[in-house]
């Protein structure tokens, strides 16, 4: 016996009369009369109708799931691409920072090397005796002396730090002030006594 089943999901109404089925679709499911026949499944038995309907909705669900899966895949791909771009940009930024730091370090090393005399083999040879400098008064202007000295890199770092804190003198000023401060903190004062023999000096101190 032929049945005319309702195609709408969730409704298994399947009378034997087509007109009854159409009326059901129009009145119950509010389908326009001109479209009502599209919502009817004709089958030889009710079991066959239910099987056809189940297969039809299974394919629709698969298509919906596939569409949702494609949309999710597209969203995941977009997120992955965005994350990869951010990582690459960060990597480039780190590489640029490292290059800049390396260049600054090389400039500092060259600066330190320029301040320290190079150790050439001839520098190890005995040097001619430098003339002595006689100073009558130790207070007042500095007296420049042509003499090469070796500086520990830490001294240069202290000087650079002092400059960063607002110190305005040059390296010579810095060394002089540190030496003077060293003796001043220990209450040591240097003086030159004219016309006093060592013996008289000893008696005065004794």
Q: What's the average model confidence in pLDDT over 175-186?
A: 86
Given pLDDT bands bounded at 50, 70 and 90, which one contains residue 141?
low
Given pLDDT bands bounded at 50, 70 and 90, which one contains residue 69?
low
Q: Which of 37, 61, 77 is the last residue of a domain?
A: 77
User: Looking at the whole model, is its pTM more than 0.85?
Assistant: no
Q: What range does the domain containing 63 cover?
A: 3-77
Question: Would 167 be classed as within a structural domain?
Answer: yes
**Quick one: how many helices (H) and strands (E) in the chain?**
5, 2
Question: Would 120 be classed as within a structural domain?
Answer: no
Given pLDDT bands bounded at 50, 70 and 90, which one contains residue 175?
confident
The whole-angstrom separation of Cα 130 and Cα 150 is 17
pLDDT at 148: 65
> Does pLDDT of 206 surpass 80?
no
> Does pLDDT of 140 surpass 80?
no
β-bridge partners, 40: 6
Q: If you average pLDDT over every residue of the chain, what do you get?
A: 76
pLDDT at 55: 87
Q: What angle do CA 102, 170, 118 make, to 5 degrees?
A: 60
Question: Would 112 be classed as within a structural domain?
Answer: no
Q: Is 13 within 8 Å of 5 (Cβ atoms)?
A: yes
Q: Which range has the worst mean pLDDT, 28-42, 123-137, 149-163?
A: 123-137
pLDDT at 72: 74
Q: Which of 77, 97, 118 is the last residue of a domain?
A: 77
Query: How many structural domains compose the chain?
Result: 2
Question: Would 180 be classed as within a structural domain?
Answer: yes
> Does pLDDT of 187 surpass 60?
yes
Report the percent of the chain where pLDDT is more than 90: 0
Q: What's the average model confidence in pLDDT over 116-139?
A: 44
The b/e string for 124-158 (b: 16+ C-beta within 10 A; e otherwise) is eeeeeeeeeeeeeeeeeeeeeeeeeeeeeeeebee
> Does pLDDT of 190 surpass 70?
yes
Question: Would 97 be classed as within a structural domain?
Answer: no
72 with 136, same domain: the answer is no
pLDDT at 131: 44
Q: Which of 47, 77, 107 is the last residue of a domain?
A: 77
pLDDT at 202: 58
Question: Would 101 be classed as within a structural domain?
Answer: no
Instruction: Evaluate the CA torsion angle 167, 172, 173, 176 in order and state its sign.
Output: positive
Which H/E stretch holds residue 138? none
pLDDT at 121: 44
71-119 pLDDT per residue, tens: 777 788 888 888 888 888 888 888 888 888 888 878 777 777 666 554 4
Q: What's the average model confidence in pLDDT over 187-196?
A: 69
């Amino acid at each position: 016996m032929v049945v005319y089943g309702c195609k709408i999901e969730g409704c298994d109404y399947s009378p034997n009369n087509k007109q009854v089925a159409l009326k059901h679709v129009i009145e119950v499911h509010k389908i326009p009369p001109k479209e009502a026949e599209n919502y009817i499944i004709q089958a030889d038995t009710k079991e066959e109708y239910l099987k056809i309907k189940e297969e039809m909705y299974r394919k629709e669900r698969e298509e919906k799931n596939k569409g949702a899966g494609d949309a999710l895949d597209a969203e995941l791909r977009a997120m992955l691409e965005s994350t990869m771009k951010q990582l690459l940009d960060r990597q480039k930024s780190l590489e640029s920072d490292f290059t800049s730091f390396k260049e600054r370090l090389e400039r500092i090393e060259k600066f330190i090397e320029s301040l320290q005399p190079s150790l050439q083999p001839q520098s190890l040879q005995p040097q001619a005796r430098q003339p002595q400098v006689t100073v009558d008064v130790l207070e007042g202007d500095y007296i420049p002396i042509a003499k090469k000295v070796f500086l520990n890199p830490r001294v240069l770092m202290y000087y650079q730090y002092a400059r960063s804190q607002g110190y305005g003198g040059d390296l010579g000023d810095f060394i002089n002030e540190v030496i003077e401060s060293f003796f001043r903190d220990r209450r040591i004062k240097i003086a030159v006594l004219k016309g006093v023999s060592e013996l008289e000096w000893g008696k005065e101190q004794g």
